[in-house]
Amino acid sequence: MLSIPVIVGVSFVYLSLLFAIAYYCDKRADAGRSVINTPYVYALSIAVYCTSWTFFGSVGRAATSGVGFLPIYLGPTLTFIFGWMVIRKIIRISKANRITSIADFIASRYGKSVALGGLVSVIAVIGIPPYISIQLTAISTSFSILQGYPSIQMPAGVGGIALLHDTELYVSLLMAAFAILFGTRHIDASEHHEGLVAAVAFESLVKLVAFLCVGLFVTYGLYNGFSDIFARAEASPELKRLFTIGSVAGHISWITLTILAMAAIVVLPRQFQVLVVENIDERHLKKAVWLFPLYLLLINIFVLPIAFAGLMQFADGEVKPDTFVMTIAMKEQLPLLALFAFIGGLSAATGMIIVETIALATMVSNDLVMPLLLRFGGQRLRDRKDLTGLLLAIRRGTIVVVLMLGYLYASTLGSSYALVTIGLVSFVAVLQFAPAIVAGIYWKGASKAGALAGLSGGFGLWTYTLLLPSFARSGWLASDFVNQGPWGIALLKPYALFGLEGLDPISHATIWTLLVNAGLLIGVSIVSTQSLIERTQAVQFVDVFKTAHGSGREWRGRASVGELVSLLERFLGAARAETALARLERETGRTLARDSRADSDVVAFVERQLAGSMGAASARIMVASVLREEMHDIDEVTRLLDEASQLVLYSRKLEDKSRKLETATAELQAANGRLLELDKLKDDFMATVSHEIRTPLTSIRSFGEILRDNPDLDVEQRQEFMSIIVVESERLSRLINDILDLAKMEAGTTQWLVEDVDPGQALSEAMVATSGLVAMSPSTRLAADIAAGMSPIRVDRDRFKQVVINLVSNGLKFCDPAAGMVTVKAWQEGGMLRVDVIDNGQGIARQDHDKIFERFQQAGNTLTDKPQGTGLGLPICRQILEQFGGAIWVDSEPGHGATFSFKIPAKIPAVTNAATAAA
């Protein structure tokens, strides 16, 4: 009934169905109607974590170590429930940077390092094949057992029948073909494989249902539920030991396995692929956080019942526990259930193999082969028109190589271990990625050197403590090396390094590699310095939730938009490049002319697009080759320094500007102050003029009213009062004349009658004019000392006399009241006429010497010292003298009289005629 053709036929039909689903979903995705855009598909695709190791191996492990199978599922559950924000951050970062694989992620984080990307790829390619090998073994084993139906025969171990080998080989080749079909039909800019994800989700569903069917049959068909099985198991002393964990080593093993699995759910290349790269919507994670743990719970719920049932059904130990899921059904003569179980196992294995190899292929092509080819392949390669074919070829080749490695591992080493143990070897290998990732997204200080050191150290130790011993076990290496340590050094025993004994090899290796890896990462990061691009990337990764997305790399380049677009075309094809460009134009809201210069936004965009199909490191090299940009850090440093120095220059200019501004402000304030002062002076002047005019007016009005209201005044009083009115009127007229005079002079509208004037004669006339004043005060004398034969001066005769009269009047007013003496001296002094008017009065304080020539300013307090006269005499004198090129000043000591002096140019005889003519 279950002949080989039937089994092969059913398997083919099943795989074809998967392919049909993938094909359909790809078509839908291309049409923009995604089928997988739901958290349920997302969660199911993550369940690719459950491989044939889960499907068959969990029962096997449970049958030998009881609950020991649990940590592998407890770990992911813990990660999802407590570490979902770590996953979210990784997803966010990956989307922002168009990360295509875990190698790309690490390389990108540490300065788009080609070396790191390559190292991660190498570790994955070496570390993963054991894991793939168990899938191959599972398929071929389950196949060979199933085709023996109704008899149950275990396939032989190492060096078994040729058929088995052949089966594994065929399976490998078949899987390679499927993986190539699923994952490398075309290159996608976003590296999304929607069809693949849909098929994987479907497989997850199938394997779950198959396992549940077997579980339900065993629990409720063969026995009467859980309690019945557990009760029977407890009754058997051999089975009872499976309920407990046991020794201290057992506990440590539990803890390390849990930690391993916690990391594996993220850092296994295929998990990173479905969890991060294929994630369509970050919000799906929210539901997956409980959906995926639920899936794990369901697929594990019947593990112990099946294991116990198997142990009880096959008490002789002839049947391997790893096959219980299928063999119980066979024993119960249920071929369809057995076939379904086989399909479930096939599902689990193919899902894992396809996704894992595609993830590895992407990694190898983007982060290992392409960067090397681009760097060393020369210009010819870089100029190649169509690189899509090359990329696909590399990926397809990688898939075949990885599967062949898996096949080799399976056929030579694999059967010496249980399924689970082999898988764990791979787990420990990929665990090495965890420190670089965790530090990378939470610690900006983690450097490329640190990551390289940590990864190399961890991976080296993995090779030593797990890979080499597995070779030794299978006889490839002398087993002495494992048992006694190399050269008999016990401290170096791979399973008991530095005396750490009593642990199982996996826990032992986990502890050591993690210690060394993390220690080196932290230590080297602290002592090493980061390059600029490392720092930039570090900030972008760590602060992904803070900063807006973008490369943050300022770039002033020489490439045109057209050049960058043609670069895109070479990798994505013309149509996709066009679409991408249209999206950029839509997003930025501007039109990009092909011949315009590409700015940093466009460069960053193109780099991200390329990164989507070839990884960050390769994309950077490609874009750089177009930009003709040197990538050496020193250039970036120079550029930054240049910017910094420009910044310094700019800030200096700014300082300069602000200093100038301060000066200008101070000047403005000073000017404003002067204006206010002038304003105040004007106000004061108006107030003073008002006062000067009001005073005589007051007397005039008062006496006018008195005369009007008192007609009966006697004549003498009438006369007196009327005289006062006349005198005050004259005073008022004089004042008004003076004000007008001064105003005119200051405004420059005075009419000057300039003529040749004999100074001696003019002085005499002026002194005569003041004789009336002298006569009024009998105790005062006026003396003259005027030189004879002085040269004439060119002045307005009346104005000149006005000056002298003013000065003499002042002298007479202020001289000693008891024995007043005013002397007028005049002489010629170096082509100038010099006149001094000397009085013997109180004198003028030094601080007032300048002030008295201002309007209404007299010596002393203006409020208490009543102006004698109009207060405009001296200012008028100064105005007149300045008009004729002269000057006036005062010399005085308080208590010793005052001497008012002025000078005015005399007319030198030689130029008389010319001057006259000019006048």
Partner 1 sequence: MTPPAKVLIVDDEPNILLSLKFLMTKAGYAVRTAKDGEEALAEIGRDRPDLMLLDVMMPKIDGFTVCQRVKSSPEWNGVRVIMLTARGRDVEREKGLALGADDYITKPFSTKDALDRVAALLADMGGSAAADEKPVETPGGDGTV
703 binds partner 1, rule: CB under 8 A: yes
What's the min distance (Å) between Cβ of 857 and partner 1?
A: 14
Distance CA 691, CA 732 (A): 11
**Binding-site member from 724, 736, 774, 915 for partner 1 (CB under 8 A):** 724
What's the min distance (Å) between Cβ of 810 and partner 1?
A: 17
Of 386-405, binders to partner 1 (CB under 8 A) are none
Spell out, one character per residue from 498 to 517, where the chain touches partner 1: x when CB under 8 A holds, - when not: --------------------
Distance CA 754, CA 71 (A): 122
**Nearer residue to partner 1 within complex by CB, 27 or 701:** 701
What's the min distance (Å) between Cβ of 882 and partner 1?
A: 30
**Binding-site member from 166, 234, 642, 705 for partner 1 (CB under 8 A):** 705
Q: Residue 331: in which H helix or E strand, if any?
A: helix 324-331
**Binding-site member from 278, 569, 728, 839 for partner 1 (CB under 8 A):** 728
DSSP 863: T
Phi and psi of 37, rounded to 5°? -80, 60
Residue range at the interface with partner 1 (CB under 8 A); choices 109-117, 539-547, 628-636, 703-711: 703-711
606, burial (CB in 10 Å: exposed 0-12, middle 13-18, buried 19+): buried
What's the min distance (Å) between Cβ of 707 and partner 1?
A: 10
What's the min distance (Å) between Cβ of 721 and partner 1?
A: 8
715 binds partner 1, rule: CB under 8 A: no
> Which of 466, 454, 404, 401 has its CA nearest to residue 429?
466
| HSE-up (13 A, CA, CB side) for residue 784 | 16
Report the b/e string of 106-141 with b at 16+ CB within 10 A: bbbbbbbbbbbbbbbbbbbbbbbbbbbbbbbbbbbb
**Nearer residue to partner 1 within complex by CB, 578 or 684:** 684
Question: Residue 149's CB: how many other CB atoms inside 10 A?
Answer: 20
Work out the end-to-end distance of the chain between its first and last CA atoms, rounded to an integer number of angstroms: 146
**Nearer residue to partner 1 within complex by CB, 634 or 687:** 687
Q: Residue 554: in which H helix or E strand, if any?
A: none
Residue at token pair 């875990």:
102
50 contacts 299 by C-beta, under 8 angstroms: yes
What's the min distance (Å) between Cβ of 776 and partner 1?
A: 15
Question: Residue 864's CB: how many other CB atoms inside 10 A?
Answer: 6
69 contacts 295 by C-beta, under 8 angstroms: no
| Rounded to 5°, angle at Cα 92 from 86 and 97 | 125
**Nearer residue to partner 1 within complex by CB, 500 or 706:** 706
Residue range at the interface with partner 1 (CB under 8 A); choices 32-40, 228-236, 320-328, 686-694: 686-694
Of 129-168, binders to partner 1 (CB under 8 A) are none
**Binding-site member from 698, 733, 777, 916 for partner 1 (CB under 8 A):** 698
Of 837-866, binders to partner 1 (CB under 8 A) are 863-866
What's the min distance (Å) between Cβ of 684 and partner 1?
A: 10
Question: Binders of partner 1: how many residues, by CB under 8 A?
Answer: 24
581, burial (CB in 10 Å: exposed 0-12, middle 13-18, buried 19+): buried
Bridge-based pairing of strands 793-796 and 754-757 is antiparallel
697 binds partner 1, rule: CB under 8 A: yes
What's the min distance (Å) between Cβ of 853 and partner 1?
A: 22
**Nearer residue to partner 1 within complex by CB, 726 or 783:** 726
DSSP 666: H
**Nearer residue to partner 1 within complex by CB, 729 or 883:** 729
**Nearer residue to partner 1 within complex by CB, 318 or 712:** 712
**Nearer residue to partner 1 within complex by CB, 131 or 703:** 703
What's the min distance (Å) between Cβ of 705 and partner 1?
A: 4
> Which of 809, 793, 808 has its CA nearest to residue 761?
793
| HSE-up (13 A, CA, CB side) for residue 918 | 7
712 binds partner 1, rule: CB under 8 A: no
Task: Give alpha helix (H) positions in 110-218.
Answer: 114-127, 129-146, 162-183, 194-216
Residue range at the interface with partner 1 (CB under 8 A); choices 224-232, 320-328, 386-394, 706-714: 706-714
**Binding-site member from 595, 709, 714, 716 for partner 1 (CB under 8 A):** 709
Residue at token pair 């004349």:
737
What's the min distance (Å) between Cβ of 817 and partner 1?
A: 14
701 binds partner 1, rule: CB under 8 A: yes
What's the min distance (Å) between Cβ of 675 and partner 1?
A: 20
**Binding-site member from 699, 729, 750, 901 for partner 1 (CB under 8 A):** 699
**Nearer residue to partner 1 within complex by CB, 706 or 787:** 706
Question: Residue 747's CB: how many other CB atoms inside 10 A?
Answer: 8
**Residue 321 token pair:** 């526990």
729 binds partner 1, rule: CB under 8 A: no
Bridge-based pairing of strands 898-905 and 754-757 is unpaired
Distance CA 349, CA 210 (A): 14
**Nearer residue to partner 1 within complex by CB, 690 or 719:** 690
**Nearer residue to partner 1 within complex by CB, 16 or 698:** 698
343 contacts 352 by C-beta, under 8 angstroms: no
**Nearer residue to partner 1 within complex by CB, 73 or 703:** 703
Q: How far is CA 860 from CA 478, 680, 820, 850, in A?
A: 122, 19, 21, 12
Residue range at the interface with partner 1 (CB under 8 A); choices 155-163, 434-442, 445-453, 724-732: 724-732
Task: Report the chain's C-alpha Rg in angstroms.
Answer: 55
> Which of 338, 329, 305, 370 has its CA nearest to residue 62?
305
719 binds partner 1, rule: CB under 8 A: no
Task: Give alpha helix (H) positions in 47-161.
Answer: 52, 58-65, 71-82, 84-97, 102-109, 114-127, 129-146
What's the min distance (Å) between Cβ of 826 and partner 1?
A: 34
680 binds partner 1, rule: CB under 8 A: no
Q: Residue 147: in which H helix or E strand, if any?
A: none
Residue range at the interface with partner 1 (CB under 8 A); choices 299-307, 422-430, 544-552, 698-706: 698-706
Distance CA 9, CA 890 (A): 132
**Nearer residue to partner 1 within complex by CB, 427 or 703:** 703
Distance CA 882, CA 800 (A): 11
**Binding-site member from 483, 695, 764, 883 for partner 1 (CB under 8 A):** 695
730 binds partner 1, rule: CB under 8 A: no
690 binds partner 1, rule: CB under 8 A: yes
What's the min distance (Å) between Cβ of 680 and partner 1?
A: 12
**Binding-site member from 710, 719, 761, 777 for partner 1 (CB under 8 A):** 710
687 binds partner 1, rule: CB under 8 A: yes
Q: How far is CA 505 from CA 445, 480, 574, 822, in A?
A: 33, 16, 53, 129
**Nearer residue to partner 1 within complex by CB, 646 or 690:** 690
**Nearer residue to partner 1 within complex by CB, 682 or 694:** 694
**Binding-site member from 706, 774, 786, 915 for partner 1 (CB under 8 A):** 706
**Nearer residue to partner 1 within complex by CB, 724 or 784:** 724
| Residues that bind partner 1 in the complex, under the rule CB under 8 A | 687, 690-691, 694-695, 697-703, 705-706, 709-710, 721, 724, 727-728, 863-866
